[in-house]
Amino acid sequence: MRLIEYENVNPEVRAAYDDFLAVRKTDWINNFWKAIAHHPPILRRTWERIKEVMAPGALDLVTKQMIYVAVSATNHCAYGVATHIAAGRVAGMTDEMFGELMAVVGLANEANRLVSGYQIEIDKQFEGFLRAVPLRDLVGVS
């Protein structure tokens, strides 16, 4: 797919690109944005959602970036892995943190495949997590 460069954009895309450059404090637009700029509503909606979800909150930025890496790795998205490892590094992710993250991702994927293959039912004690029951209210879990 042809990438939409800054100098070739319409006003709607230019506004999104300018906001991206200002928020990210950078001087370049990466390929993800240049590719989805073919459909300005997707570009605008995606950028607004990223700003909302990745903003400071209960989770710090390094944790959010690491989750993004984990999901990207599980979805076999090399672009997401590469760009969010870079963003994670900027946010403070160390080699040790990345190594532990990948160990957890690998373990979770392996265990999830086993659960799926064996079609294991959720224990009654864990069903409460699906309804956000406090941990202290679950029997047999500490």
Q: What is the pLDDT of residues 3-44, one digit of tens each?
A: 999 999 999 999 999 999 999 999 999 999 999 999 999 999
Architecture of domain 1-53: Up-down Bundle (1.20)
pLDDT at residue 127, as a whole number: 79
- Contact call for residues 45 and 37 (beta carbons, < 8 A): no
- What is the full DSSP assignment across 17-85? HHHHHHHHT-S---HHHHHHTTSHHHHHHHHHHHHHHTSSSSS-HHHHHHHHHHHHHHTT-HHHHHHHH
Does the 56-142 domain belong in CATH 1.10.1740.10? no
pLDDT at residue 117, as a whole number: 96
Which residues of the chain are under the pLDDT cut of 50?
A: 142
* From-to residues of CATH 1.20.1290.10 in the chain: 1-53, 56-142
pLDDT at residue 129, as a whole number: 77
pLDDT at residue 125, as a whole number: 84
Q: How far apart are CA 51 and CA 68, in angstroms?
A: 14
Question: pTM of the prediction?
Answer: 0.84
